[in-house]
């Protein structure tokens, strides 16, 4: 694999580097959350409350200037985590670790030896990344049973810690990341913070007055829903997700966040408990594109422990400021205009295309002819790898082991029956069916061929001069949990991954950027798909778009004012937060 920047040169001619400040969230908007004072990024000492709503870049600047200390920031985030416990975003809160890290970060700042932009920044990590000394569950009884504590850090986790980031905890997900709602984990579903936003509540009040306020809470999307909720609810500034078919971009779209799936091979998978090795990529969830770029800059690069990472050195990610899009060519894949697409998303999609066009970009319709085969092809490849990857969970070395000891085989069977949920077992069963000698050619090999065709579709389009593809991320905005569970996991995954998983099949970078609120007051995101290893260019375009659309900040003060009642309700729910 090559990190070929020459292919991305279309942007090089006219970009200039400007100041590093993010332009997405005006200071005034931030204050809607906790604070009534708006001192601005270059003002005097800021209150920690103000800080929480800010972007990673802004808070990093504040830390460097001493407006706030890492410990203050950490404590504030911990208190929000406690307040928003009912969201079920975290499986494990690593309070002690975070405070200790904050203390060390503080010492460094005092000496003036900050490790970089992430020093002292609270982050969260999806609970399918190995964390040394911190329990890692994949939201499954299989690992939770005996409390699996990895003896090593995933490379991406280690890189964040090496930069001084504070690890707030491990976030909730669908069991082994198999799902698109963050509803199918052993710790229960994750609730979308937007369910409690002022924007959504006001719209709902207009429509109905009698419904139970909390029973209609929304799903976050998934499977990285815990990470999305954690960032969206201001408990941290960035979170790691994983993205196999859309698991980072989907919840990002539903939670009003930027969700980045880097190019396959740009970021190490070592330590990420795999779903589909050939498609998994560590994902990044942040409040703005700039923040995602900072985190990607830290994570990207060759890892000797992951042979599929690029060999070439990666340059630091500094996003040039794009002011002129007239030389850009935006592709609109016609196959993505499906009947299931909600009219609102559809109209925003076309609005976005118009925006580019009106600013001088060339916007053309393109064809990815094999798109319709993508989902079924993904199903075969995904379940096959799942069948293989899950084989190691046999109750012998780690994790859950049943009490049956008549024979090793009986122990395996019962352990796996008890340890995995229906979704995981179903995929293992399908996958093993596809891998059987008699089926291998007809299913697995065919699916691989189709995968090649799908990847070639993208190559053809990009070779024709298209710089980036613009597509919806999801069919619609987030739906209520009660609505979501009317369909089973498999149906949901097939539906919800429709726009996202082709990028995984082709290994391309893709980012979901929130565009606007729906009529219901819920976020809708659009997706940009770029050329392989042109992540920086992709993000540059995404940032331009982000700046144009001025997506509103989530207004959660109502929730916070009212949190005691929410907590009361929460006691009735069966979901418990493991700490």
Partner 1 sequence: MAAPMLRLCCPGRRWALACIDGCSRHRRGAPNGCTSSRKRGQSSVAQQPFITAQKPRKGEHEWAAVVGLEIHAQISSKSKLFSGSQVHFAAPPNSLVSFFDASLPGTLPVLNRRCVEAAVMTGLALNCRINKKSLFDRKHYFYADLPAGYQITQQRLPIAVNGSLVYSFCAGKNRSQVINKTARVKQIQLEQDSGKSLHDDLRSQTLIDLNRAEGQLRVDANISVHHPGEPLGVRTEVKNLNSARFLAKAIDYEIQRQINELENGGEILNETRSFDSKLGCTIPMRDKEGKQDYRFMPEPNLPPLLLYDTESLPAGADPQQVIDIDRIREQLPELPSVTREKLVQQYGMLPEHSFTLLNEVGLLEFFQNVMKETRAEPKKVTSWVLNTLLGFLKQQNLAVSESPVTPSALAELLNLLDRKAISSSAAKQVFEELWRNEGKTPAQIVSEKKLELMQDQEALEQLCHAVMEGHPQVVMDVKKGNPRAINKLIGLVRKVTLSRADPTVIKEILEKKLAS
User: Is 129 one of the binding residues for partner 1 (CB under 8 A)?
Assistant: yes
Catalytic site residue 247?
yes
Q: Which of 272, 288, 502, 577 binds partner 1 (CB under 8 A)?
A: 272
Pairwise CA distance, residues 482 & 405, whole Å? 41
Between residues 30 and 300, which has the closer beta carbon with respect to partner 1? 300
Taking the complex as a whole, how short is the minimal distance between the CB of residue 95 and partner 1, in angstroms?
24
In 394-473, at which residue ranges do the beta strands (DSSP E only) sit? 468-472
Tell me the C-alpha distance between 63 and 121, whole Å: 9
Residue 329 is given by DSSP the state: E
Nearest by Cα to 423 from 182, 250, 76, 256: 182
- Per CB under 8 A, does 398 bind partner 1? yes
- Active site includes 334? no
Among 384, 500, 501, 504, binds partner 1 (CB under 8 A): 384
Site track 81-120 with partner 1 (rule: CB under 8 A), x = hit: ----------------------------------------
Is residue 152 part of the contact set for partner 1 (CB under 8 A)?
yes
- 434 versus 545: smaller Cβ distance to partner 1: 434
The Cα 561–Cα 362 span in angstroms is 47
Q: Establish if 429 lies at the interface with partner 1 (CB under 8 A).
A: no
Tokens 């993000």 locate to 539
Q: Which two tokens stand for residue 540?
A: 């540059």
Based on the shown chain and the rule CB under 8 A, indicate whether residue 185 belongs to the binding site for partner 1.
no
CA distances for 525 relative to 225, 259, 345, 390, angstroms: 15, 9, 8, 33
Rank residues 105 and 131 by Cβ distance to partner 1 and give the closer one: 131
**Cα 496 vs. chain centroid, distance in angstroms?**
14
| E strand residue ranges, 130-185 | 166-171
Q: Give every CB contact of residue 554 below 8 A, 6+ residues apart in sequence.
A: 33, 193, 194, 197, 199, 232, 256
Residue with tokens 């030389």: 327
Secondary structure class of 293 (helix, strand, coil)? helix
Please report, for residues 1, 176, 231, 398, 417, the alpha-carbon distance to residue 393 in angstroms, rounded to integers and kept in the order given: 32, 12, 31, 8, 11
Exactly one of 189, 246, 274, 301 binds partner 1 (CB under 8 A); that residue is 274
The one segment of 99-107, 271-279, 344-352, 480-488 that binds partner 1 by CB under 8 A: 271-279
- 313 binding partner 1? (CB under 8 A): no
How far apart CA 43 and CA 111 sit, in angstroms, is: 23
| Tokens representing residue 222 in the block | 């998934």
Q: Which stretch binds partner 1 (CB under 8 A): 212-220, 344-352, 395-403, 506-514?
A: 395-403
For partner 1, the binding residue among 435, 485, 560, 573 (CB under 8 A) is 435
Axis-axis angle for helices 155-162, 289-299 (nearest 10): 110
Q: Which of 130, 182, 247, 374 is catalytic?
A: 247
The whole-angstrom separation of Cα 344 and Cα 358 is 21
Span of 35-43, 219-227, 307-315, 552-560 interacting with partner 1 by CB under 8 A: 307-315
Q: Does residue 307 touch partner 1 according to CB under 8 A? A: yes
- Degrees to nearest 5, angle at CA 59 with 272 and 253: 50
Q: Is 150 in the site for partner 1 (CB under 8 A)?
A: yes
- Among the candidate windows 42-50, 52-60, 302-310, 477-485, which touches partner 1 by CB under 8 A? 302-310
- Does 273 engage in binding with partner 1 (CB under 8 A)? yes
419 in Cβ contact with 142 (< 8 Å)? yes
Active-site annotation holds for 223: yes
- Residues 130-149 interacting with partner 1 (rule: CB under 8 A): 130, 138, 143, 148
Q: Between residue 445 and residue 484, which ones bind partner 1 under the rule CB under 8 A?
A: none
**Contact with partner 1 (CB under 8 A) among 277, 321, 338, 456:** 277
- Rounded CA-CA distance 432/367 in Å is 34
Minimum distance between the CB of residue 399 and partner 1, rounded to whole angstroms? 9
Distance, CA of 200 to CA of 213 (rounded, Å): 11
Total residues interacting with partner 1, rule: CB under 8 A:
46
Among residues 133, 195, 184, 187, the alpha carbon closest in space to that of 158 is found at: 133
Q: Pick from 517, 467, 474: which is nearest to 199 by CA? A: 517
User: With binding defined as CB under 8 A, does residue 304 bind partner 1?
Assistant: yes
- Which of 270, 451, 492, 543 binds partner 1 (CB under 8 A)? It is 270
Pick from 111, 207, 437, 571 the residue near partner 1 by CB under 8 A: 437
Report the residue number, 217 or 393, with the smaller CB distance to partner 1: 393
Give me the residues that bind partner 1 (CB under 8 A), please.
Answer: 1, 129-130, 138, 143, 148, 150-152, 154, 269-274, 276-278, 304-308, 311, 384-385, 387-388, 390-394, 396-398, 408-409, 412, 432, 435-437, 440, 444
Q: Which residues are catalytic?
A: 126, 223, 247
């Amino acid at each position: 694999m090559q990190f070929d920047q020459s292919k991305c040169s279309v942007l090089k001619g006219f970009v200039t580097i400007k100041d590093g400040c993010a332009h997405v969230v005006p200071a005034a908007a931030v204050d809607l959350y906790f604070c009534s004072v708006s001192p601005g990024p270059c003002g005097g000492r800021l209150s920690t409350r103000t800080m929480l709503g800010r972007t990673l870049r802004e808070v990093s600047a504040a830390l460097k200037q001493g407006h706030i200390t890492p410990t203050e920031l950490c404590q504030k985030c911990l208190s929000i985590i406690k307040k928003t416990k009912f969201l079920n975003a975290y499986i494990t809160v690593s309070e002690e670790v975070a405070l200790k890290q904050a203390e060390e970060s503080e010492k460094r700042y005092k000496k003036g030896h900050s490790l970089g932009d992430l020093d002292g920044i609270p982050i969260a990590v999806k609970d399918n990344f190995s964390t040394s000394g911190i329990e890692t569950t994949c939201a499954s009884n299989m690992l939770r049973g005996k409390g699996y504590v990895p003896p090593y850090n995933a490379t991406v986790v280690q890189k964040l810690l090496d930069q001084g980031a504070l690890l707030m905890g491990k976030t909730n997900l669908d069991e082994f990341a198999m799902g698109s709602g963050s509803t199918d984990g052993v710790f229960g579903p994750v609730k979308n913070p937007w369910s409690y936003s002022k924007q959504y509540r006001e719209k709902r009040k207009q429509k109905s007055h009698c419904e139970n306020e909390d029973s209609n809470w929304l799903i976050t999307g998934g499977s990285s829903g815990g990470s999305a909720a954690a960032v969206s609810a201001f408990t941290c500034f960035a979170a790691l997700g994983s993205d196999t078919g859309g698991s980072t971009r989907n919840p990002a779209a539903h939670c009003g966040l930027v969700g980045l799936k880097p190019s396959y091979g740009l970021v190490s998978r070592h330590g990420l408990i795999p779903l589909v090795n050939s498609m998994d990529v560590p994902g990044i969830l942040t409040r703005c594109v700039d923040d995602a770029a900072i985190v990607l800059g830290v994570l990207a690069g060759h890892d000797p422990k992951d042979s599929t990472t690029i060999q070439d050195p990666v340059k630091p990610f500094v996003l040039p400021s794009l002011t002129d899009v007239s030389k850009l060519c935006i592709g609109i894949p016609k196959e993505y205009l499906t009947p299931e697409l909600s009219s609102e998303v559809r109209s925003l999609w076309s609005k976005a295309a118009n925006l580019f066009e009106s600013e001088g970009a060339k916007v053309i319709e393109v064809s990815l002819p094999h798109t319709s085969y993508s989902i079924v092809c993904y199903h075969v490849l995904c379940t096959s790898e799942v069948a293989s990857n899950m084989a190691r969970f046999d109750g012998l070395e780690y994790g859950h082991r049943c009490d049956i000891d008549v024979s090793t085989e009986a122990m395996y069977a019962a352990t796996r029956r008890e340890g995995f949920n229906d979704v995981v077992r179903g995929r293992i069963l399908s996958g093993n069916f596809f891998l059987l000698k008699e089926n291998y050619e007809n299913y697995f090999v065919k699916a691989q061929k189709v995968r090649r065709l799908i990847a070639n579709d993208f190559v053809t389009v990009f070779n024709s001069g298209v710089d980036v593809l613009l597509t919806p991320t999801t069919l619609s905005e987030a739906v209520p949990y009660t609505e979501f569970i009317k369909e089973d996991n498999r149906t949901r995954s097939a539906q919800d991954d429709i726009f996202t998983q082709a990028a995984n099949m082709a290994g391309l970078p893709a980012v979901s950027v929130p565009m606007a609120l729906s009529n219901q007051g819920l976020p809708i995101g659009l997706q940009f798909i770029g050329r392989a290893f042109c992540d920086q260019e992709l993000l540059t375009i995404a940032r331009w778009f982000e700046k144009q659309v001025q997506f509103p900040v989530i207004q959660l003060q109502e929730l916070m004012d009212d949190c005691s009642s929410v907590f009361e309700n929460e006691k009735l729910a069966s979901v418990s937060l493991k700490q």
